[in-house]
Amino acid sequence: MSTLFSTLPLRQSHSEALSSSQQAGRYLEQYGSSTFPIPIPFLSSPESTELWSTYEKMLYSCLRTGDDKAAHLCLEKLGVRFGTNDERVMGLRGLYQEAMAEDQSALLQMLREYDETLAEDPTATPIRKRRIALLKSLSRESDAITDLIELLEASPTDLESWAELCELYVSQGLYQQAEFCLEEILLSTPNAWNVQARLGEVLYTSAPAAQDQLGALTESVRRFCRSIELCDGYVRGYYGLKLASDKLLEGLGSSNKAVTQISHSRNHGLAIPSVEVLQKLSESATSRLAEIVRDASLHGSAFHDFAFVEDLLKATTMAKQR
């Protein structure tokens, strides 16, 4: 979900990362002639914010696809432009060195170097985030959670850190804490449809073990509905709405005896949707998913991007035929 947090996580697909990596050589040749920290007219290539952002993205893509040489060149260009002591460049260098580490002992050495840097400058946020990512890759999730909590105490508006903490809590099965993290993000970005859907997913996953299962599922349905309200073509929103509404229908059964129940703990007194409403939501989600997959196939989108949707639609068709 993030850049400095992850062990090479891009929101790109594998094909997009490969394409970006393959273009790195040509891009470096075209824009990499300047070695001046400050651009000098007629002596350096034109630069912009987008130029350096592209270098950073290519660095991630090259590391992801194993093009270590091009990744190192991108890192060098960023270091020359912004200085090797720039916090973000230091974080990117740490990411590069972690990717080049041959064994766990090398990673532990990186961890010690991060500790030394933070001892000198505790405010170096990019280095702290790399340290957290390294702890996570070393399967030290509890230590990573502790460090993230400390980071958020110092910077409570760091949405990237809240998102990372959420995923760590989910990995440990601490769903209520994960929900709290997502709600903190939504306080700042209430119209973030992807965060609304992610909260719906966490609620859906936690429902079987929740004390108020119907309430958790009802809130999950509500979050997915909000997600697709904000972004009509958001596949994960419709996919989640289909799953959550069907699961809630199972909980309610075929009768309406539970329709009037109130879920005070999760829904603040909101009534659970009726069977009729849930059936309409499920049917609407199914229809919209089929439409999205059909449109994607017409525009040549890769099948694997929608394979999970295809599986759900097939399962729905089979269930109706029984």
Please, what's the b/e burial string for 235-254 (b: 16 or more CB within 10 A of its CB; e: otherwise)?
bbbbbbbbbbbbbbbebbee
d(CA 41, CA 100) in angstroms, rounded, equals: 37
pLDDT (0 to 100) of residue 40: 46
pTM: 0.80
d(CA 202, CA 178) in angstroms, rounded, equals: 7
d(CA 88, CA 112) in angstroms, rounded, equals: 19
- C-beta separation of 196 from 182 below 8 A: no
- Give, in order, the Cα–Cα distances in Å from 245 to each of 65, 68, 210, 268, 281: 39, 46, 17, 19, 7
- C-beta separation of 223 from 200 below 8 A: yes
The residues of the chain scoring below 50 in pLDDT are: 1-2, 7-10, 34-43, 254-255, 257-259, 262, 264-265, 268
pLDDT (0 to 100) of residue 265: 46
pLDDT (0 to 100) of residue 172: 96
φ/ψ of 262, rounded to 5, equals -115, 135
pLDDT (0 to 100) of residue 205: 97
Residue range 159-183, pLDDT digits in tens: 999 999 999 999 999 999 999 999 9
pLDDT (0 to 100) of residue 10: 43
Name the amino acid, one letter, at 202. Answer: V
Q: Which residue has tokens 């929900």? A: 179
12: how many CB neighbours lie within 10 A of its CB?
Answer: 15
Closest CA to 114 of 103, 123, 127, 95: 127
Local structure of 169: helix, strand or coil: helix
Closest CA to 250 of 208, 308, 313: 208
- C-beta separation of 78 from 62 below 8 A: no
d(CA 191, CA 91) in angstroms, rounded, equals: 30
36: how many CB neighbours lie within 10 A of its CB?
Answer: 12
- C-beta separation of 198 from 181 below 8 A: no
pLDDT (0 to 100) of residue 8: 41
